[in-house]
Chain A
């Protein structure tokens, strides 16, 4: 125990003496949370549309005015030629084209099939899907506004439109920040702890002090524990800042227990730090350690469901995620914060994380050699 105390004292002195570390620990998390929370959004705000109105009827104008009135759309231009519109789409000046053919107004009046053509820029498939959905919902809205008219016309005919209504549980306004921010918190904690731990032991190899440590009777577990504890504390600290920013800065609902999040974070961080230390033991320079840590980070992160829903991944991808600690922690932290899930709701995920933690730390201790 006393030996561990001296080791820890040395680690903390070194961490706080490293001038580039302090901004990383204190400033980076807040910046990262703020920038990413505002920028990494699934919401559509400014969809620029080009309208080709060959009809110029009351009906087409009415529909166009609905787009104009919507906060999500800007009608960039109204023209007559599809070619001109496509050129604009080509130049990326607009995101979608809406085409009214000559008979649009007439068809609406005659209560026959009236159609509007929509062309969207689908380079980014997910935003194309969103354009489509938003445009369709505006048109549907227009449809409803004219339905009473033809309901009157066709008295007796039953127009029982099946209406589905939604209730969005746990995030009623479908805001993206409550959804994204818990995930970003996980990202933040992971980046710091994985990189710091991966670079640490290898740094002692680089400067040669590891040899001096290795000729002493220090036990491997003592040495690695002294490397682990400071980063665990830093990780907790980061998480704390993040939770404060999330609840007080972004006013995210926090339904569950902070202690439960910390319990999960403890297990999770052991897993990540174990991985970092393992990387450290397998590399000879900080540069190598960086690249390997980066490799794991990118894969874990992109597969984690933070930016793309796991459900839409191919099946093998979803299966791979069984091994992705980030995915579990993101899932758990969302459950706890947004749904108020308790210990027994997250038991399965926590169990899996515990297995990760135990195995990664065991492997790290095993692979750390006191002997060349």
Chain B
């Protein structure tokens, strides 16, 4: 895959809710295979933007294409090429691990044998073979989140959108989660991830930092630290976030 290929193009994107502008003139591009960190405080407009990119919400204006498809007119083609993991935990608690995998594999049109062999590999990789027939409700949160991520990329999408995937889990599990993200990126999946853990920002190839609906900075973590003369991403973020007016 050509690494210069742009899989997400956003130009002058606005999203307004009445008087309130949640996304104010966003423009950025994401390259194929990249891990793109989409940072910002709570209420900065990250989730709004990610929903537009996933086709869950209409932008007010702007030119946006995802995986080569226009988000206004080719929404269903966009959806066929992306995976999404929301803040809200989104596997079915009353179904077993395997039933969830089978369901999501099935609705993306995978064949039965594909589903079975991929599910076996996945469970082996996650070390969850013993939990294959356990209900999701019986699993610890960290496992659920790793599983939710794996299900989100089960159909091998071009891009996976992760909206604060590691909220509420311990640092060790977060580290393991990021190993999964690296694996996905190595296999060619572009990762678009929002987070407010600044240590996670260091793991990204490039990050954008949103403040009050605007992108205030966009570069590699190294360059940003140099630019803001900061020791780590935390300081970079703080020096930008001080400008914010509507931090919740």
A6 to B106, CA, bound (A): 6
Whether A372 contacts B109 by the Cβ 8 Å rule is no
0 or 1 for each of A179-214: is its CB under 8 Å from B? (1 = yes):
000000000000000000000000000011101111
- B interface with A by C-beta (< 8 Å): 51, 54-58, 75-76, 79-80, 82-84, 86, 88-95, 99, 102-104, 106-109
The listed residue (B95, B102, B107) touching A216 by CB distance below 8 A is B107
User: Are B94 and A14 in contact, with the CB atoms below 8 A?
Assistant: yes
Could you tell me how many residues of chain A have their Cβ less than 8 Å away from some Cβ of chain B? 25
CB distance from B11 to the nearest CB of A (A): 21
Contact residues in A for B94 (Cβ distance below 8 Å): 13-14, 17-18
Which one of A3, A14, A17 contacts B106 once the chains associate, using CB atoms below 8 Å? A3
B86-A217 in contact (CB<8A): no
Further 6 A-B residue pairs, CB within 8 A, beyond A3-B107, A14-B92: A2-B109, A6-B106, A14-B95, A207-B88, A212-B90, A216-B79
Q: Is residue A352 within 8 Å, beta carbon to beta carbon, of the partner chain?
A: no
Once bound together, how far apart are the Cα atoms of A7 and B109, in whole Å?
A: 12
B contact residues around A13 at 8 Å (CB): 94-95, 99
Residues of B with C-beta under 8 A to A5? 106
Known: A371-B55, A371-B57. A209 touches B90 (CB 8 A): yes
A356-372 at interface with B (beta carbon < 8 Å): 370-372
Residues from chain B with a CB closer than 8 A to the CB of A17 are: 94-95
Contact in complex: B51, A7 (CB < 8 Å): no
In the complex, what's the smallest C-beta–C-beta distance from A366 to chain B, in angstroms?
Answer: 17
- A218 interface hit (Cβ, 8 Å): yes
Give A6 to B110 CA distance when docked, in angstroms: 11
Q: Which residues of A contact B108 (CB under 8 A)?
A: 216-217
Q: A215 at interface (Cβ–Cβ under 8 A)?
A: yes
Q: How many A-B residue pairs have CB under 8 A?
A: 74
The residues of B that contact A215 with a CB separation of less than 8 Å are 54-56, 79, 82-84
A218 B57 Cβ-Cβ under 8 A: no
- Residues of chain A within 8 A (CB-CB) of B107 are 3, 6-7, 213, 216-218
Contact A207 B56 (CB under 8 A): no
Contacts of A45 in B (CB 8 A): none
Interface of A is mostly: helix
Q: In residues 1-17 of chain A, which contact B (Cβ within 8 Å)? A: 2-3, 5-7, 9-10, 13-14, 17
Would A372 and B56 count as touching, CB distance under 8 A?
yes
Beta-carbon contact of A211 and B88 below 8 Å: yes
Chain B residues near A14: list those with CB within 8 A. Answer: 92, 94-95
- The residue from A6, A208, A214, A217 contacting B102, defined by CB atoms under 8 A apart: A6
Residues of A within 8 A of B76 (CB): 217
Listed by A's residue number, 26 A-B pairs whose Cβ atoms lie within 8 Å are A2-B106, A2-B109, A3-B107, A3-B109, A5-B106, A6-B102, A6-B107, A7-B103, A9-B106, A10-B92, A10-B99, A13-B94, A13-B99, A14-B95, A17-B94, A17-B95, A207-B88, A208-B88, A209-B90, A211-B84, A212-B90, A212-B104, A215-B83, A217-B76, A217-B107, A217-B108
Given contacts A14-B95, A17-B94, A215-B79, contact A9 B103 (CB under 8 A): yes
Do the beta carbons of A372 and B51 come within 8 Å of each other?
A: yes
Chain B residues contacting A213 (CB-CB under 8 Å) are 107
Complex CA distance for A227 and B79, rounded to whole angstroms: 21
| Chain B residues whose C-beta falls within 8 Å of the C-beta of A372 in the assembled complex | 51, 56-57
Residues from chain B with a CB closer than 8 A to the CB of A207 are 88, 93
C-alpha gap A14/B103 in the complex (Å): 12
CB-defined contacts of B95 to chain A, threshold 8 Å = 10, 13-14, 17
